[in-house]
Amino acid sequence: MQKDYFLLTDKIAEIESRFVSRDGWLKIYGSDTIDFKDSAGIFCYLISESKRQAEGEQYSWSIRKGSEGKPSVYGDNTYKTYDEEGVEPFLFYKHFSYNDGYEHYIDISEEFVLYFKLYERGKNKQNRTFYYVDDYGELDEVIVVEPKQIRVRIRYLKEYITIRDMHLVVCFDYMRLTSEIPKDWQVAFKEELIQNDYSTYSHLIRNIAGEFQSWIMGKVFIGPNPIKKTHFDPEYKYESFITGYDEEGNLIYESCDAERIDFKTTFFKKEVLDKYYNDPGKYQVDGFGVKSRFFTLKCDNNVGEYVPVFLSDLKSLPHTEQLHWKQYNIPPKAGMGLSRTYYRTMIDGNWAEQPDAIDLFFKDKYEEFNKKWEQKFGWKLYKPLAKQDEHLFTALHCISSNNIKAFCEQALTVVKLTIDRLNEKELAKGIEIPKGIKGIGKLEKFLEYHDITIPDMFVFLRHLQSLRSGLIAHSFSETNKDCKKAMEYFGLSDSNYKDVFEDILEKSIFTLNTLEKRFLQ
């Protein structure tokens, strides 16, 4: 054993930090005992303002683990919620011995949990986390319970004790034994009481039963904030965005909360939408905005290269979302503006039209076509996606950069929506189809049965199907001849993934329009 270890230098450092970590967590429970020669324990409780001075004068604890004093029943059958007025447990040690076994764990003050309306999630009583759920559905960890320690986020704890005019007392008991103390340590026996504004503890060094003991016992005080302020008090933050240039050519930034900014427009890179497209379970993107269960932002998603937004509409976003949009904010250029569809809908007040953006137009057209087909034939040409794949339709979008991974994911979605979902069973009814013909071949036979031939359309569909074989693991197969022909057909290269994907969407719309013209008009 080293001298500093025996003297509990590491534990004294914890005491001096008041058990608060740099990332804002407060340790309120610990059970770090190694053996009878090296033991450590931390517990906590609350005291009223009136008890603070008396508690600071002694290092002993007012509440001990397993003896919390809530509730207390006295010999004359007197019931009291707390054993001592002004002293209140924050943690509760629960232990149960029953026929099948034994269990123990630490519970948290129910009043604290109820105050913040904390949501609990975990494997079991000894491994769980309590979360604060904000107005936008985001989870923030407040308490983490583990078998050997419990931590609480200090800002939540401070709000709680502030609103209640109380202090938190974090108690500690550390002890180490060694069979000998080398002379060069120059350690003397002592019984010292250390007191300051935030802690009171005793450090005892002595010989006991032939062993040398270093023992620290005491407590640290966490006081309330000087000003009462709760999470219920609204705190609005508004970011500034680019709205133009001044006379000297410098960018003009205006707050989305400023006055007289109706219909002022600011612009963003198309990549700003990737966050929402990539999480279709939480967000929905259409031609007129982004929506979630917790906010709605009106924006013009009908422009190919950028996203225009009315400055005042950004005010509706949570501050974290404003920051997300701000990093994609771009200066305006000549010719930039709102799409015709967005202008006619949001400014002129006309009924919503079909979107201008090719990805949104394809999705609208796909759904509209499938409904019309079902109305005429009694069955859908494209079968609905499986439940686990429904998010693919929501997340389908034009890619914002020449990224092979994004291209593969979106191109595969188009294949799944069209070729993979062809209703082969219905297409083959009443038609002689040679054995081995599937998918596209059945659609071609269906058209031939109706005296329709569209060779260019089937060239596209077959090349699209061949392309998918090269999309596995987001790399193109050099040995797959059909895939190489498909790449040549689409003119695919490392620098034009965006353009090729839009071409795929355009040809897919042409396919829907062609079938609609031949069968549904």
- How far from the centroid of its chain's Cα atoms is residue 8's Cα? 40
Name the residue among 214, 211, 204, 177 with its Cα closest to residue 35: 177
Question: Which pLDDT band, with edges at 50, 70 and 90, does 357 fall under?
Answer: confident
Question: Which pLDDT band, with edges at 50, 70 and 90, does 473 fall under?
Answer: very low
Q: What is the pLDDT of residues 239-248, one digit of tens each?
A: 999 999 999 9
| Amino acid (one-letter) located at 251 | L
Q: How far is CA 497 from CA 108, 357, 413, 503, in A?
A: 54, 17, 15, 10
Q: Is the pTM of this model over 0.95?
A: no
Question: Which pLDDT band, with edges at 50, 70 and 90, does 338 fall under?
Answer: very high
Average pLDDT over residues 367-376: 95
> CB of 171 within 8 A of CB of 49?
no
Average pLDDT over residues 490-497: 88
Average pLDDT over residues 497-502: 92
Cis bond upstream, residue 71 (ω within 30): yes
Question: Residue 435: helix, strand or coil by DSSP?
Answer: coil
**Regarding predicted confidence, which is higher, 287 or 42?**
42
pLDDT at 179 over 80: yes
Average the pLDDT over each of 47-61, 229-243, 328-342 and give the range with the smallest value. Answer: 229-243
Across the chain, mean pLDDT equals: 91
Both tokens of 521, joined, read 């008009």
> CB of 208 within 8 A of CB of 69?
no
pLDDT at 477 over 70: no
Question: Which pLDDT band, with edges at 50, 70 and 90, does 393 fall under?
Answer: very high
Residue 79 CA to residue 84 CA, distance in Å, equals 12
**Regarding predicted confidence, which is higher, 438 or 157?**
157
Q: What is the pLDDT of residues 201-210, one digit of tens each?
A: 999 999 988 8
Q: Which helix (H) or strand (E) holds 343?
A: helix 340-346
* Beta strand segments in 336-462, E: none
Average pLDDT over residues 7-24: 94
> CB of 343 within 8 A of CB of 275?
no
Average the pLDDT over each of 168-182, 214-228, 427-441 and give the range with the smallest value. Answer: 427-441
Residue 208 CA to residue 338 CA, distance in Å, equals 84
pLDDT at 10 over 60: yes
Query: What percent of the chain lies above the pLDDT cut of 90?
Result: 69
Average the pLDDT over each of 146-150, 227-231, 362-366, 514-518 and give the range with the smallest value. Answer: 227-231
Residue 72 CA to residue 81 CA, distance in Å, equals 6
For 420, counting Cβ atoms within 10 Å of its Cβ (0-12 exposed, 13-18 middle, 19+ buried), the class is middle
Q: What is the pLDDT of residues 104-153, one digit of tens each?
A: 999 999 999 999 999 999 999 999 999 999 888 889 999 999 999 999 99
> CB of 82 within 8 A of CB of 62?
no
